[in-house]
Structure 1
């Protein structure tokens, strides 16, 4: 089974010979090696690049053990470059090389070398890349399979695939497993033996149970505004354990660096500024989230919101949580204030749009509730409500577009005119 990940492949193609190191990052087991060594390699060969001008090294292979020495790797690559023609250098699991930063910077100085690398999350995180390769690296962020890619891989139609997709997630290996038990066992073992172990070892976290408890708390509250104070209070009230704000903040940072979760910050739409400490956290893969919780708390509304967030991020959008203040007169005649939430404030290049996620809008009262915050936004950017129902997209007299979830997930922003 070969899944065509054209969105990411095109980014690699667009980055050819741009003078930067192309760095593929993302949660472990989401297909980084496959993208580089299979899809991009096939593209190069089909484009007429000869095999002797593609230097492909899997550094986690036992045959490449000697090349994990930085000087040996550099000399090996240099010896392969026997003429002045362009060479494509593909290095998988480059973090296994000691002082790999020096190797990559040395390769970058070679005029006829175009360098592409992947790295595992345990030692090769986005924060590391920003520090080591500022201005010299072109990061391609790889996410688990989108619903569209999932359907391509399984042959299922979107509504047929939806329940399995939001239950077991989009890590490619899941598609090869037949039973629910095999899928859940795989995801649970993967989290324990790969993701969790990576974080504990990398950051020398001493209290494993405390960290696991925080992961479960975040998993159980996807899409709910929270902060370190709230999470600390949850530990005190539910777990009967005192854990400091600083420790919680560090743990959340570890999870973000490992690409397990992402943070969406609150943005004051009217004041055009970021506000307060409250934020929302979303899981990069719903299968991992559900495995952490043992398939408990399957609230489709929150899961749908998480999936929409992931799809927006996959498309390269910057996503915040919007806040609009509403002033109204109470029953006793006094002016009151309350905050209305816009699920997502989305920036895609020069374009901005606002999105509400609504599992269903069975009546006019529910529709008014979902529209309330959107109607108070004073600018002219597109405003959208995404519902699970299979409906024909339509725009009301206020300019608010309502579309079905599958149309959004299976299309792109250009298809939907947003």
Structure 2
């Protein structure tokens, strides 16, 4: 049990820290989160450790009054129990006055936290929480707060945020001005290797990424799920990290790891996905059964973690690009799949019941891979009645007309800028994209979130 005096010292110290302010890079998701303050639903900001959730909370606080804050990661809260919430609430009243908004950082560390959150919500309070495990949060809220919360997934810096971090401005004409274009290409080459973890970009210390990586594996996977076979988990993670963008099956991994059944592999990968370290990509099929039984592809939250595992040699450039594109699609789309028929297409996007986009990614389109890359894209387009498709590369830029189909080749860096600004950047001009930006939040039950 935490004493009132300890709680008071902790709350006052944390209050002083958050009120110091700082030079923050505004996150692109901030306006959407602020818009969600219009009702009394609980707001959940979830994402991998150290991706900027706490900083995002501070940015939100700068726009609000009558709030209170506590970070449950503090070691002085190791003995905190559900019965301590009432004492904590009294301390928060003493330190902050009469709060209307409660900000809770990493609250999933506390058992039965959702009961207290539900009580606050019933009292008309706005509650905003962060967490680094989507599975745990969705399980708890799916039980106690079905339909009464809204979840936002926070990722490491996008390329647009990376540019803001490095104070590199962009405008609709930037890709056509030589100096700005060179600066953007150079920045993207760096981003491909460093990824977007904010603290790593500040200190450029590989030991920071290694330590963070180990903390995620131990605290969010091994310790949280009481896994005894630690070596097995690390072997699985190394295999997945070296297989970015490649298909796999649970059975194939089971055999490689020398396990008796594939259920263990499936469980471990679900833990890694819940901690936002890896993501599985399903093959699209109208049959749910076939979709579940088909090979999946694996992607990683940030290239820095992949490179830490030795995934940095030049032949892998195309796969690093593909990983960047996949994570960007996660930021912007709700349903992403890969297509596989006679040929393969890296990504197809579903909006509602329709497939609306087909995207292929490669380092360079050349004579050796042209039939495979274009063939896979055209087959996916034909399957879903699409007249336009895109191939994202390191540097190529052109438009090809093949019968009734149009294929656009575009550098990944330019596509990322286009996606973030809403401007369609073509060879000759820039137009404002008329399509509405997808809502990147999620509302609903645990089953809908997983």
| Fold match by TM threshold 0.5 | yes
Q: Give the distance between the partners of 2:250 and 2:289, measured in 1 at CA.
A: 24
- Judged with a 3 Å threshold, the aligned counterparts in structure 2 of structure 1 residues 230 and 158 are, in CA distance, closer, same or farther, namely farther
- 1:64 is displaced (CA, Å) by 7.5
**Alpha-carbon offset, residue 270 of structure 1:** 11
CA distance in 1, matches of 2:363, 2:333: 24
Q: CA deviation at 1:275?
A: 5.8
| 1:246 shift after superposition | 1.3
Aligned to 2:320: 303
- How far does residue 22 in structure 1 lie from its aligned partner after superposition? 0.1
Cα 1:271/1:128, change in 2 over 3 Å: closer
Matched-pair contact (CA < 8 Å) for 1:386–1:405 = yes
Query: Residue 169 of structure 1 aligns with which residue?
Result: 195
The secondary structure found in structure 2 opposite 1:384 is strand
Task: Identify if the C-alpha distance between structure 1 residues 132 and 225 changes in structure 2 by more than 3 Å, giving closer, same or farther.
Answer: farther
- The aligned residue for residue 178 of structure 2 is none
| Structure 1 residue 60, shift from structure 2 partner | 3.5
Paired residue for 1:357? 361
Structure 1 residues 393 and 252: CA distance shift in structure 2, 3 A: same
Q: Compared with structure 1, are the counterparts of its residues 282 and 353 closer, same or farther at alpha carbon in structure 2 (3 Å cutoff)? A: same
Question: Deviation digits for residues 60-85 of structure 1, max 9, x if unmatched?
Answer: 457888986222234445678977xx
Task: Measure the CA separation in 1 of the matches of 2:141 and 2:362.
Answer: 37
Q: Deviations over 1:314-333 (max 9, x none)?
A: 12432111123xxxxxxxxx
Of the three residues 385, 397, 410, the one matched with 1:403 is 410
- Identify if the C-alpha distance between structure 1 residues 131 and 280 changes in structure 2 by more than 3 Å, giving closer, same or farther: farther
Structure 1 length-normalised TM: 0.81
Distance 1:40 1:393 in 2: 42
* 2:397 counterpart of 1:391: yes
1:370 correspondence with 2:377: no
Match of 2:221 among 199, 217, 242: 199
Contact 1:384 1:400 in 2 (8 A): yes
**Structure 2 counterpart of 1:332:** none
Task: Tell me if 1:213 matches 2:235.
Answer: yes
Structure 2 length-normalised TM: 0.76
Contact 1:321/1:342 (CA < 8 Å) preserved in 2? yes
* Residue ranges of structure 1 left out of the alignment (5+ in a row): 45-49, 236-240, 325-338
2:348 counterpart of 1:345: yes
Confirm whether residue 188 of structure 1 aligns to residue 201 of structure 2.
no
- SS of residue matched to 1:218: helix
Question: In structure 2, do the counterparts of structure 1 residues 218 and 391 end up closer, same or farther at CA, with 3 Å as the change threshold?
Answer: same
Aligned-pair distance for 1:258?
A: 0.8
